[in-house]
A = this chain, B = another copy of it.
Amino acid sequence: MLEVLDLDLKMGKEEYQGAVQRLRVKLRDLQHAVRAAGIPVVVLFEGWNAAGKGDAITALVRPLDPRGFKVFTTQAPTLEEQFHPFLWRFSTRLPGKGEWVFWDRSWYRQMLEERVDGRLDRSGALAAGGEIREFERQLSDDGVVLIKFWLHVSRKEQERRLASMQSDRFERWRWTQPDWKKERGYRKYLEAAEEMLALTSTVNAPWKLVEAHNRRFRRVKIFEHLIGALAGHLSRHGKGLEATGSSMPTAESIDEGVRSRGLHIEVDSISSVLDRSDLSKHLDREDYEKQLSRLQLRLRDLEFECYGRRVASVVVYEGWDAAGKGGNIKRLTQELDPRGYEVVPITAPTLEEKTHHYLWRFWRQLPKAGHMTIFDRSWYGRVLVERVEGFACEEEWRRAYQEINEFERHLTVAGVVCVKFWLHLSPEEQLRRFQSRECTPHKRFKLTSEDWRNRTRWNDYRRAVTEMIERTSTPYAPWTVVEAEDKLWARVKTLSTLVATLEKRLGV
């Protein structure tokens, strides 16, 4: 079936830019709709080496809230994986309701490779195909939307790309893998691919073949197919894309008493390290855009450098409500290769987490060497919300400063880079943002009575933040107070701080 693809299909730059702009907005809206509808989404990419699978995933996740998706790469199985049934590493990484998982190669990899190298004969392929169909049917029966892309390039095009990648310093590391030689048998691989596609294209999980020569064409086709599939699924289940607005979480009715107490905040006169930050700092949009895009690309370079040198990093975001953490994280990650980082939003601990040491759940989320984990709130909850709201007793949160310093020292001694941001703004600016959320229908759900309640405790939090920064800003893991009165300034500051820290660590 692959020979019928017209690999000459192209798209012009202007057409592409218009299309992609529109598609990004649609996909972002779909993420909200899918979350509201509680649908798990799995998107997988197979196809030739260098066909653009990573590029496609990077393009797709750009408009998405990074707290809602994960990206996994299928390499040759580790020993641990070899010691389990074949589907184990995939089954244990299924998305929950409303979550997205992207796979760069997937459960098809092994079948394909074993077929090419002869470990799997025809009947073995039939059996493997059967198992995979069963697995996918089980997912789709359970409401998972599964979308499968095959990215196709010709032999000539593949050779051209591999050659050019080998001379690219950020791509070269990919070809040190021992399995790349296997892929050279294009003909054999093509036959195995055709067989596999035929065996596993089902009603509920058909393969989408993508002519992958032209990057713009390929990206737009992938966007359109994904959007169509999701919108179709939503509308078949009575939740059309148009209904996105109405399927947004509804705004909580605000406790008026709390709200009015929160309107005017008198900040304590006690001095704080926070006072030293100059909240008048700002950037105009032109400056911002220039700096942002330069820093984003630089961070992407550093991401690859960290991967190649196996340097892990941990980025902690803390800050006032409405200080702009979400938008800031989105800008930080926008140009990164999504296979290299993960954003972990921290909310109230689960029952299981509560029966363990409070650091336990953070240990489980640490990045492995070469990767980056961004914590949207973190273990500092112990000395912030848990302290202020009394969720931890005094003895516990008092102990925590030392525990955290020890924990972060342990990480940094192991080579992990620790960067910590406190996003700071004035109570007046916070009030403006709260009020603007109240006036914007699609943002109203973000504002709850709890936000107003937290606001009335501004001075308690200010005291907790001050002590936190004073006691846990260490030479190996310093705090950076980010002036977030102007969001543009804040975004550039977090990016440039992270970039500078990584440059220093890498000596580049």
Whether B360 lies near A91 (C-beta < 8 A) is yes
State the interface size on chain A (CB cutoff 8 A): 53
Residue contact B84 to A366, C-beta cutoff 8 Å: yes
Contact of B138 with A359 in the complex, beta carbons under 8 Å: yes
User: Could you pull out 6 A-B pairs where Cβ atoms are within 8 angstroms?
Assistant: A80-B368, A84-B366, A86-B414, A92-B363, A96-B356, A135-B410
Copies, count: 2
Residues of B within 8 A of A85 (CB): 366, 410-411, 413-414, 416
Name A75-90 residues within 8 Å CB distance of B: 78-80, 82-88
With both beta carbons as reference points, the residue of chain B lying nearest to A399 in the complex is identified as B141
CA of A444 to CA of B406 in the docked complex: distance in angstroms? Answer: 46
A residues within 8 Å of B by Cβ? 38, 40, 78-80, 82-88, 91-92, 94-98, 127, 131, 134-135, 138-139, 141-142, 144, 310, 312, 350-352, 355-360, 363-364, 366, 368-370, 399, 403, 406, 410-411, 413-414, 416
Alpha-carbon separation in the docked complex, A310 to B79 (Å):
12
4 nearest A-B residue pairs (beta carbon): A85-B414, A96-B355, A83-B369, A83-B368
Provide the residues of chain B in CB contact with A403, threshold 8 Å: 138, 141
Complex contacts, A360 vs chain B, CB 8 Å: 91-92, 94
- For A352, the chain B residues whose CB sits under 8 A away are 96, 350
Q: Is the CB of B92 within 8 A of A364?
A: yes
Q: Identify A134's interface contact among B94, B141, B355, B406, CB under 8 A.
A: B406
User: In the complex, which residues of chain B have a beta carbon less than 8 angstroms from the beta carbon of A131?
Assistant: 406, 410, 413
**A363–B135 alpha-carbon span in the complex (Å):** 13
Tell me, in angstroms, the Cα distance from A355 to B94 when the chains sit together. 10
Max chain B C-beta neighbours (<10 A), residue from A38, A80, A82, A84: A84
Task: Verify B84–A368 contact, CB threshold 8 A.
Answer: yes
Given contacts A80-B78, A80-B80, whether A366 and B88 have CB atoms under 8 Å apart is yes
Contact A359 B91 (CB under 8 A): yes
Q: How far is the CA of A411 from the CA of B95 in the complex (A)?
A: 22
Q: Which residues of chain B come closer than 8 Å to A134, judged between CB atoms?
A: 406, 410
Which of B142, B312, B369, B406 meets A357, CB within 8 Å? Answer: B142
Chain B residues near A95 (CB, 8 Å)? 356
Contact indicator A363/B88 (Cβ below 8 Å): yes
> If the complex has contacts A138-B406, A352-B350, are A369 and B94 also in contact, measured as CB distance less than 8 A?
no
Q: How far is the CA of A293 from the CA of B403 in the complex (A)?
A: 49
Shortest CB-to-CB span from A222 to chain B, Å, is: 26
- Name the distance in Å between A124's Cβ and chain B's nearest Cβ: 11
- Nearest residue (CB) in B for A98 is B355
Known: A86-B414, A363-B92. A357 touches B138 (CB 8 A): yes
Q: Give A47 to B234 CA distance when docked, in angstroms.
A: 60
Q: In whole Å, how far is A22's beta carbon from the nearest beta carbon of chain B?
A: 31
Sample of 4 further A-B pairs with CB below 8 A, known A138-B403, A142-B357: A84-B366, A84-B414, A85-B413, A141-B399
Contacts of A369 in B (CB 8 A): 82-84
Q: Which residues of B contact A40 (CB under 8 A)?
A: 356
Please name all residues of chain B whose beta carbon is closer than 8 Å to the beta carbon of A363 when the two chains form the complex.
87-88, 91-92
Query: Contacts A88-B363, A357-B139, A363-B88; is A310 near B94 (CB within 8 Å)?
Result: no
C-alpha gap A411/B144 in the complex (Å): 22
Instruction: Please report the C-alpha to C-alpha distance between residue A81 and residue B131 in the assembled complex, in whole angstroms.
Output: 31
* A87: B residues at CB distance < 8 A: 363, 410
A406 nearest CB neighbor, chain B only? B134
- Minimum CB–CB distance from A224 to chain B (whole Å) comes to 28
